Amino acid sequence: MPLPKRTNAEFLVSRAAEREIAAAVNQARRELRAYAVDLAVTLAATRIQVDVSSDEELVRSFIDQLGRNGSD
């Protein structure tokens, strides 16, 4: 038995619902992506602990590398 034809109003409501669902899906994806980024940054921050002396050593090393690369 074939499905009954939809009226124009039913078609418009259906299309509006499809657009609304697609917008909600896109919003959920954006929120999930933002949450994942925030989670990754938080995890990295807890795993990367640099004290003052390590920070100073990193800066000195970077400056030494710049000096060597600049003298080429």
What is the per-residue pLDDT across 23-36, written as a single tens digit (0 to 9) for each?
999 999 999 999 99
Tell me how far apart the alpha carbons of residues 33 and 50 are, in angstroms, rounded to a whole number: 28
Our CA angle for 63, 46, 48, nearest 5°, is: 20
**pLDDT tens for each residue of 45-71:** 888 888 888 889 989 999 999 888 766
Q: Which of 18, 2, 23, 22 is CA-nearest to residue 10?
A: 18
Tell me how far apart the alpha carbons of residues 35 and 22 are, in angstroms, rounded to a whole number: 20
Prediction pTM value: 0.56
